[in-house]
Structure 1
Amino acid sequence: MSEALNTAVSAANNDFTKDVYWDLAANKAENAIISPLSLHVVLGLASFGAAGSTAEAMMKGLRIKHSETLLKDYKGIIDQLSKSPELKIANKIYFAQDVKLNPTYQTQAVENFYSDLDKADFSQAQVAAKQINDWVSNHTNDKIKNLIDPSSLTPDTKLVLINAIHFKGKWATPFKPESTKDGAFFLDETNSVQVPMMHIKESFYMYEETGDDGFKMLELPYGSKEEQRFSMHIFLPNKRAGLAALEKKFFQTNESFAEKFGNIVKSTYSSEVDVTLPKFKIESTWEMNDLCKHLGMEVAFSNNADFSLMTENKMPLQISKVVQKAFIEVNEEGTEAAAATVCRIRLKRSLVHYEKPPPLQFKADHPYLLVISYKRSNLVFVATVNSFSGQKSFAEQDISPAEKVQKTEL
């Protein structure tokens, strides 16, 4: 694989991922999907309209140390990721009829974030919400719908900043639909549910730590063997109820998750692996105001906020709401994932050669963590698969065996 992105923004996003995941998803019983990158980009777009202590707080929250090349770094990461056929990134700024954007901020948004600009009449909440939601749906292959609730838009709303990410990757070696069969997924040490389990035996990169607190990591690459930019990395605890301990090991240490992740990837070895992996679909909605405040951006939400660089007449603005919706579906063909993050701004108020051994076993039949990364380094999505409540097994679906195979070919 070719070199990963090595910029202040990519390093900051990887560091940022650790805090975002721990705040939102760790120690939760339900499934979760988050795109820290989507949040990082939209808050980065907002940060260039901030001044003084607000700008400092935004940079600190984004885990960015001062960099003169910051705008070029954002441009570079969006440029590079957008070259991949699997991933599309889009940014948009909607602004009220009475807002005139500061020409410098407008130039930065368009040239470095590739942001589209459009006016919206926020006093017509239903119309404005449909305008925004249609754009988001169009840029996420209809996977993210109703990101904006009309009730959240008021005449005080002056700008809405949006980032949308859509990923669709085909496995380098796809699973065969006819090999998918019902199997047990353990919710804890003893309780299980029957879910469709995909199966493949192929050469993959693996990593393993033994012991009760250990885990296995399997890398499933996307794309052709000649050009593999993206991979899914599945971290499977050795114990059925080991996910919470694994999360603590990864996200509650002095070592950054990105460093730990990088060291694990470098230590992988290629081997024939007998893989069992459930099909799944996860949708998450995150209210992110508290997260942003925990990251150190409290001032941006207060009456002391200074976003005077956004508008020509230095409107007194503050962030009122940050929301993300994210989606992921994994099946025999590959993975589709999407995320959209909105930041609403309003007026202030109060490899080794050896004799071939038997295949290793990688049976993802209990809760696990997964990461989708670019070139085995830059983190785009992170998710946990904990449960399958509401998801039907093949046996529960009213379809014939022939239709079962057809149904898996999504």
Structure 2
Amino acid sequence: MRPSRRTRHALLLACAVPAVPAMIAGCATAPTAAQSTTGQPSTGRQAPQVLSVGAQRVTPAPAARAGGDLSSFGGRVFLADAGISPTSNAAISPYSIYSALAMTRAGAKGETGAQLDRALGGSAKVQGADVTAIDTAVAAAVSAARRESGAKAPQMVVTNANSIWSDRSLPVRKTYLTSLAAGFGAGVHTVDFRHDPAGARGQINGWVKDRTNQLIPQLLGPSAVSSQTRIELVNAIYLKARWAERMTVSSRPHVFTTADGKTQQVTVMTDRSPMSLGAGHGWRSVTIPYTAGGLAMTIVLPEKGRYDAVRRQLPSVLSDATRGTTSTQVQLTLPKFSTNTHTNLVPALTTMGVRALFGRADLSGIAGPPGELKVSSVIHQSVVKVDEFGTQAAAATAVGVAPGAVRQSQPVSFVVDRAFFFVIHDTTTGAPLFLGQVANPA
């Protein structure tokens, strides 16, 4: 029987991801060992205390498994989000959403934990190892880009951080702190949700703004945090990378067929350089490397009339496409594009079978008895912009409770002249850091 007097507090998961093309100004990597996040928020308020434990990151999962888990999860979330219309430009960060939910799973028990495992894949231990494998691969990509650029300005920046924001009155379990440190390199920031929810929201938004290079200035709106909120679990990722070969903007527009069958004149970029090609039932793909080759963008181009069919198969298509099998000289024509997506993922996750988390949840591994905490929202924002220089991307997620090229004389032509999908990923695991669709670049 449900207790009649127990106060049920809200837990919020929030995530944001921006990406835009620009000059690379700095270089940072995701942590490979446990650490607390102590950067000052840009709100001007006193920084919260950070609770953390010293724990080594868990052993990374095998690269293929980590990439497969994230590709399957990302594709399913993308399709389940009813707010993403097939005829709109949109993007999410599967990595950011997965990280925030996996941090929640680390404190979930019973059916709540079982439902999260079915959605994320594997167990809490597996999920932490998957995140660690991707963090390690991305850090290696950034290091390779740094070595290649030498004394020049860094050609790649990737910053990733996980954080948990807890009300001062909530006694967070030490075992949960250990799980966060080992699996996600995260510490717990203590704030005053109970008496100053607006101030706490400002600190979280400031933290996200700083870690997404100002691309996501306000992840959480006024209604997202209240005096009933007790925990916010937040992941933020920012990516900025130059193409291995700078593209050339065409002086004349090209015709592009949108997802709804109309035609538009769009600005395109061209490049002739080594790239990896792939193909599957109803689609072709090209993988465009960023500097040093540790990160790449894969374009999945459906055959004419096959856009909807390929979209429905995204969870399996992603894994195949990011393993581009043929490296060759490619003559690429690609439109400039950008996306900005803000969504609450609760309906999508409910569709995927995650229900207990939003009702009578058992998050007793975080704090309190079963039923005291529940997740009130899963907020995600992603911004992606792509131009001839490269890509700048950022994402954040918040969960609230309350290779060698073969040169040919004739390059293969790859013209992206109709609605397509894109994945930004590391080339070791193939895990999607960002996933999106471009229905109409104009």
TM-score range normalised by the length of the shorter chain: 0.7 to 0.9
Partner SS for 2:86? coil
Asked if 1:231 is matched to 2:292, the reply is: no
Corresponding residue number in structure 2 for 1:51 = 109
Matched position secondary structure for 1:296: coil
Q: What is aligned with 1:407? A: none
Partner of 1:151, secondary structure, is: coil
* 3-state SS of paired residue (2:354): helix
The residue type paired with residue 383 of structure 1 is G
Alpha carbons of structure 1 residues 6 and 130: separation in structure 2 relative to 1, 3 Å: same
Cα deviation per residue 1:250-270 (whole Å; 9 max; x = unaligned)? 44xxxx3455336x523x241
1:29 aligns with 2:87: yes
Identity %: 25
Instruction: Give the distance between the partners of 2:370 and 2:230, measured in 1 at CA.
Output: 12
Partner of 1:280: 337
Give CA-to-partner distance per residue, 1:142-180, whole Å, 9 cap, x none.
112211012221111000000111111110011135x45
Tell me the TM-score normalised to structure 2 length. 0.75
* Higher mean C-alpha deviation, range 187-196 or range 14-23: 187-196
Mapping of 1:276-315 within 5 angstroms?
A: 276-303=333-360, 305-311=361-367
2:145 matched residue in structure 1: none
Are the structure 2 counterparts of residues 81 and 360 from structure 1 closer, same or farther at C-alpha, using a change threshold of 3 Å?
closer
Residues 321 and 296 of structure 1: CA distance in aligned 2, closer, same or farther (over 3 Å): same
- Equivalent-residue separation in structure 2 for 1:230 and 1:150 (angstroms): 36
Gap runs ≥5 in structure 2: 1-59, 143-156
Change (3 A) 1:73 1:358: closer
For these two proteins, the number of residue pairs brought into alignment is 365
- Tell me the distance in 1 between the aligned counterparts of 2:181 and 2:379: 22
Q: Which residue in 2 is equivalent to 1:176?
A: 248
What is residue 216 of structure 1 aligned with on the other side?
A: 284
Contact 2:134 2:431 in 1 (8 A): no
Give how far 1:247 is off. 1.4
Aligned counterparts of 2:62 and 2:432: Cα–Cα separation in 1: 11
Q: How does 1:66-85 map to 2 (within 5 A)?
A: 66=123, 71-85=128-142
Residue 99 of structure 1: aligned partner? 170
Partner of 2:438: 385
* Greater RCO structure (CA 8 Å; 6+ sep): 2
Which sections of structure 1, spanning at least 5 residues, go unmatched?
Answer: 392-410
- Secondary structure at the residue paired with 1:247? helix
Residues in 2 aligned to 1:104 and 1:334: alpha-carbon distance in whole angstroms: 42
Distance 1:137 1:52, change over 3 A: same
Asked if 1 retains the 8 angstrom alpha-carbon contact of 2:91 and 2:384, the reply is yes
Please say if residues 180 and 198 of structure 1, whose CA atoms lie closer than 8 Å, have aligned partners that are also in contact.
no
CA distance in 2, matches of 1:152, 1:116: 22
Change (3 A) 1:316 1:67: closer
Would you say 1:344 and 2:416 are equivalent positions?
no
Q: TM-score, normalised by structure 1?
A: 0.81
Q: In the alignment, is residue 261 of structure 1 matched against residue 287 of structure 2? A: no
Letter in 1 for 2:386: V
Contact 2:61 2:126 in 1 (8 A): no
- Deviates most, 213-222 or 309-318: 309-318
Moved more, 50-59 or 183-192: 183-192
User: Quick one: distance in 2 between partners of 1:373 and 1:158?
Assistant: 34
What pairs with 1:126-205 in structure 2 (closer than 5 Å)? Answer: 126-177=198-249, 179=250, 181-187=252-258, 191-205=262-276
The amino acid across from 1:288 in the alignment is L
What amino acid does structure 1 have at the position aligned with 2:414? F
CA distance 1:335–1:4, shift in 2 (3 Å): farther
Distance 2:309 2:254 in 1: 25
Change (3 A) 1:50 1:8: farther
What's the RMSD between the two structures over aligned residues?
2.7
The answer to whether structure 1 residue 321 and structure 2 residue 377 are counterparts is yes
Aligned AA for 1:363? V
Contact 1:100/1:313 (8 A) holds in 2? no
Measure the CA separation in 1 of the matches of 2:180 and 2:101: 12
**Matched residue SS, 1:220:** strand
1:141 to partner: Cα distance: 1.1
Write the letter of the residue equivalent to 1:244. Answer: D
